[in-house]
A and B are shown apart, each in its own frame.
Chain A
Amino acid sequence: DQQVKQNSPSLSVQEGRISILNCDYTNSMFDYFLWYKKYPAEGPTFLISISSIKDKNEDGRFTVFLNKSAKHLSLHIVPSQPGDSAVYFCAASSLNTGNQFYFGTGTSLTVIP
């Protein structure tokens, strides 16, 4: 059973607009969340993370929001650029039990120039 779910397999956004990628999780023990970005024929690369003690973390054009009560997190990209076109994976972890990550199935983002 998937403990981390990304229900949108794909998303298309116009260049310059906001991209919002969503992720839901089921395990209330998760306390650390990450987003990874993956280009074709490459491995996933770390993008941004957030601890459960926060509800927002920002890094340049990327912001991750965490809603613990809803077990939901989202990644906002503003403004979106064509180079952001990639597959984005959400991951969750319970740091008390080690470094094991649970990944979602990914959302393919296409930014249209």
Chain B
Amino acid sequence: DAGVIQSPRHEVTEMGQEVTLRCKPISGHDYLFWYRQTMMRGLELLIYFNNNVPIDDSGMPEDRFSAKMPNASFSTLKIQPSEPRDSAVYFCASSNFGSSTGAYEQYFGPGTRLTVT
């Protein structure tokens, strides 16, 4: 398996623009997570899905952030409008927690480095 795939790897945009980050989880995984990495808070969970359904979005900082998972192989995180304080590295992760394997770890993608000027 290719692992978790994220695109783009780097995104530079101007304040006020819409930004869409994309994620393809590992096939067969039933959980998908969006994280943001900052120096102050480390890896901060934004939202996670189970079987394509959003379970907890309490980490989403503002209404400017939204996430969707239209099917088991694709998810998006959208920021509209973007602000300079949104600049960070955004990670997507997936896991097969719901399976009977007893494996609980999450597998991370390479991240998207977002810069908002």
- Residues of chain A having any CB pair with chain B under 8 Å: 2, 6, 32, 34, 36, 41-46, 49, 89, 91, 93, 95, 98-106
Q: Which 5 A-B pairs have the closest CB atoms?
A: A43-B108, A105-B42, A99-B97, A103-B43, A46-B105
- Given the known inter-chain contacts A99-B95, A100-B56, please indicate yes or no for A2 contacting B41, CB distance below 8 A: yes
Cα of A81 to Cα of B24 in the assembled complex, Å: 33
- The answer to whether B42 touches A46, judged by C-beta atoms less than 8 angstroms apart, is no
Q: Cβ of B91 < 8 Å from any Cβ of A?
A: yes
Residues of B near A43 (CB, < 8 A) are 4, 91, 93, 108-111
A92 to chain B, nearest CB (A): 12
**Chain A residues near B43 (CB-CB < 8 A):** 44, 89, 91, 103, 106
Distance in Å: Cβ of A100 to nearest Cβ of chain B: 6
B105, A34: Cβ atoms under 8 Å?
Answer: yes
The answer to whether the Cβ of B45 comes within 8 Å of any Cβ in the partner chain is: yes
Contact count band on B: 20 to 34
Q: B87 interface residue, CB < 8 Å from A?
A: no
Residues of B within 8 A of A93 (CB): 104
CA gap between A103 and B59 in the complex, in Å: 13
With A and B bound together, what is the CA distance between A44 and B44 in angstroms?
13
| Given the contacts A98-B55, A99-B97, A46 and B41 also touching, CB distance less than 8 Å | no
Contacts of A36 in B (CB 8 A): 108
> Which of A42, A49, A103 lies in contact with B104, CB distance below 8 A?
A49
Closest to B44 in A: A103
Which A residues are in CB contact (< 8 Å) with B106? 46, 99, 101
